[in-house]
Amino acid sequence: MPDTAPASPLDAFSGRIEPTRVPLLYQFGLAFVALAMVLLPLIYIALIIAVGWLVWWHLQNDIGIITHARGRAAVIALVVYLAPAVAGGIFILFLVKPLFSRSTDRPQIFKITPAEEPLLFAFVAKICQLVGAPEPREIRLDTQVNASAGFRRGWLSFFGSDLVLVIGLPLAAGMTARQLAGVLAHEFGHFAQGAGMRLSYIIRSVNAWFARVVFERDHWDEKLEEWSQSEEWWIKLIFMLAKGGVWVGRKVLWCLMHLGHAISCFMSRQMEYDADSYEAKLAGSAEFARTAARLRSLGFGHAVAMNDAYQTYQSKELPDDLPAMVLWREKNLPAEVQKEFDKHTAEAKTSWNDTHPADPDRVKAALAWQAPGVFQQETPAAELFADFTASCQNVTRHFFEHILEVPAGKVQFRSTTRMVEDRQSADASDQYLEAFYGKNFHLLRIQSIEPGCQGTWREAVDQMEPLAATYGHQLAQLDRCQEALLKQVIAGDLITAGFTLSEPGQFSLASSTKSGAEFAIRETNHEMQQLAALMSSYETGASRRLAAALDWWQSHHEDEASRRHLERLLVAQRALASGVPNMMQASRTSRSLQLLFDNAANHSNGYELERQARAVAQRIEVATSQCMTTLGDAEHPYLSGHPPIAQALHLPDQKDNEWARAFQLANVCTEALVPLLVRIMGDLCGLALAAEKEMKAAASQFTPPEAPPPEAASGESDATVVAA
């Protein structure tokens, strides 16, 4: 039978798409929402005018405050008269400032041209023609599991058809041409209705503006905080009033932001249904459900791949093809994770404050169209690109260097094949860890693995196994103590900083005093020490078992490279295990620092808060420094060339902001050193399990010598008979 498949995706389009009819009521509703969104900033401007009028009225009508005062009272009266005016003026400044605030600089974009990707541009043009939307003047690529279409120059393109399309390359890596075509049809479906397109842009822009000005801070905010801490009472009074006014202004903005969000949510969901209809008509209603599932699973793969990249970045390596990493992770999701993910998705419900409908509702609406689709080609979407691998590598490097601003020259881009092998090895180490310890592995209870095990492997197993169940209960108790200790340490730092804890019980405290926190911390530490004494027998047995198996493995394997790798693992394990207390100290303390900053707006004394925050940051600095000292010159067991672990870490520069530096140092401990130690323990367990398997196999093949004949055994002889 001859191959009837079209030679080009452009030849696979058949039929036409009927425009989705938008009811007149829907259009009126969209216009009403857009009008309401425009009114919200006008309400804000009216508030500014009202405050300005009040300041003017005060200056005009309350001048009597200073006309009748004499002597020192005149000074006080002048302050009382001017304070509301100055504070009001500053308040107005902070209210006006958001109206003219500019968004942060946009990152560099990665755009392509029709000359570079002629098939992709023609493919997009064909979809636009069928949907009835204007063709984009520019196509950009990024690494997100998403596609979007919008005005290329923002408001400058509002009254024209100057569009830009952004395609996330993980979509092209993990979808068929049919699925990608449906996603693009959805994006252009938003622009099939010219009026709706512009009204929705107004709605999104106003919502985005409110969100930015509510949460964004600049150097003016820092100056206001600094001035409000002045030792001169009259200066402090003025700026404390201004600070209170700014707080009120931001609360007003916050209310308007949430009001705008609530107003626009319903229409936003309707616009998504409208755009979904174009996807269903182009790719088919049945394909819509499959595409939605691919988007979800690729999104999950993207999250795991980004975590992988973060882990390897801590060792100064990054993948050179992020979309390939996303696809690999998506294809290798554990079955139980995929099952739980699908269950969560199936149970999702659309809430009144959602901007997008839940997937089950969207799929149901798409199936109701019963559209067969006008494009059904199932070839990989990657074939739409002239050189997909090269595009992925270029966009990946652009993403890390220009979007995440990874310092050039401080990382190496490794082939994704090698990075996948490394991640597979890391995943396998987790399995070895569970196979050796069961559920009884705990980072805080790791002991250094020393050479020359005392006793035999069998004695260690006999010591470890009977205590496993009891040890599991003790670990659960240890976790409860750790959680309580974390809360108590945080509470102690908050109290020292001058905060009042209204509910000390939430921090595992009996009272909200500093002495109460210190007492609770001592009690929890004492309980953990008693618990450690009870747990030591199992832990000693586990360490002896691991050491004995590794000793056996080393004595029965002569490959020098493997023996050297084991030695590096053991040296690194001992160095990292010694640093665990400092790693945990840095992690706990960073939580305290974060909460101090999160609650800064509720603190009345910025100087006192800053003093305690600096003390907390110093504790992180000390803990990390001690951790680096314990690492010494221990070699990194997984990096090529095996540099010292301490040199392979991304430590912040001494000149960096002290708060940012403290958080980065804590992240080095929790996000780099802890995973490295866990992986090393897993690999050691893997070697130990292999050794135990070989030991058992050798024991099963051992044949004891035959017993001597009875007559020989009972006869007179000077020979000594040794029983096997």
User: Is there a contact between 281 and 127 (Cβ–Cβ < 8 Å)?
Assistant: no
Q: Where are the alpha helices (DSSP H) in 599-702?
A: 606-631, 658-667, 674-701
DSSP string, 39-56: HHHHHHHHHHHHHHHHHH
**Averaged over 582-603, what is the pLDDT?**
86
User: Which region among 211-215, 454-458, 589-593, 668-672 has the lowest average model confidence (pLDDT)?
Assistant: 211-215
Q: Smallest Cα–Cα separation from 257: which of 41, 30, 32?
A: 41
**Averaged over 79-87, what is the pLDDT?**
72
User: Which region among 359-373, 409-423, 580-594 has the lowest average model confidence (pLDDT)?
Assistant: 409-423
- Give the three-class secondary structure for 315: coil
User: Is there a contact between 443 and 577 (Cβ–Cβ < 8 Å)?
Assistant: no
- Give the three-class secondary structure for 13: strand
CA–CA separation, 671 vs 587, rounded Å? 10
Query: Per residue in 558-596, is it b (16+ CB within 10 Å) or e — as a string?
Result: eeeeeeebbebbbbbbbbbbbbbebbbbbbbbbbbbbbb
**Averaged over 626-635, what is the pLDDT?**
93
Give the pLDDT band of residue 469 (cuts 50, 70, 90). very high
CA–CA separation, 271 vs 202, rounded Å? 14
- Give the three-class secondary structure for 2: coil
CA–CA separation, 584 vs 561, rounded Å? 34
Indicate the average pLDDT of the chain. Answer: 83
pLDDT tens digit string along 426-448?
A: 889 989 999 999 999 998 899 89
Give the pLDDT band of residue 721 (cuts 50, 70, 90). very low
The C-alpha angle with vertex 376 and arms to 375 and 382, in degrees rounded to 5, equals 95
CA–CA separation, 581 vs 669, rounded Å? 11
Task: Please determine, for residue 719, whether its predicted confidence score (pLDDT) is greater than 50.
Answer: no
CA–CA separation, 662 vs 670, rounded Å? 13
Q: What is the pLDDT of residue 8?
A: 84
Q: Where are the alpha helices (DSSP H) in 399-513?
A: 416-437, 457-464, 468-496
**Averaged over 82-97, what is the pLDDT?**
71
Tell me the β-bridge partners of 411.
none
Q: Smallest Cα–Cα separation from 56: which of 88, 79, 94?
A: 88
pTM above threshold 0.85: no
Give the pLDDT band of residue 723 (cuts 50, 70, 90). very low
Give the pLDDT band of residue 205 (cuts 50, 70, 90). confident
Q: With residue 148 as reference, give the H or E element that holds it.
A: strand 147-151
Identify which of 214-218, 319-323, 450-454 has the greatest average pLDDT: 319-323
User: Is there a contact between 272 and 356 (Cβ–Cβ < 8 Å)?
Assistant: yes
pLDDT tens digit string along 224-272?
A: 666 666 666 666 666 666 666 666 666 777 777 777 767 777 777 888 8
Task: Please determine, for residue 562, whether its predicted confidence score (pLDDT) is greater than 80.
Answer: yes
Give the pLDDT band of residue 671 (cuts 50, 70, 90). confident
- Cα 18 to chain centroid, rounded: 42
CA–CA separation, 17 vs 41, rounded Å? 39
Strands 163-168 and 147-151, sheet pairing:
antiparallel
User: Is there a contact between 369 and 276 (Cβ–Cβ < 8 Å)?
Assistant: no
Give the pLDDT band of residue 532 (cuts 50, 70, 90). very high
Query: Per residue in 474-502, is it b (16+ CB within 10 Å) or e — as a string?
Result: bbeebeebbebbbbbbbbbbbbbbebebe
CA–CA separation, 449 vs 570, rounded Å? 7
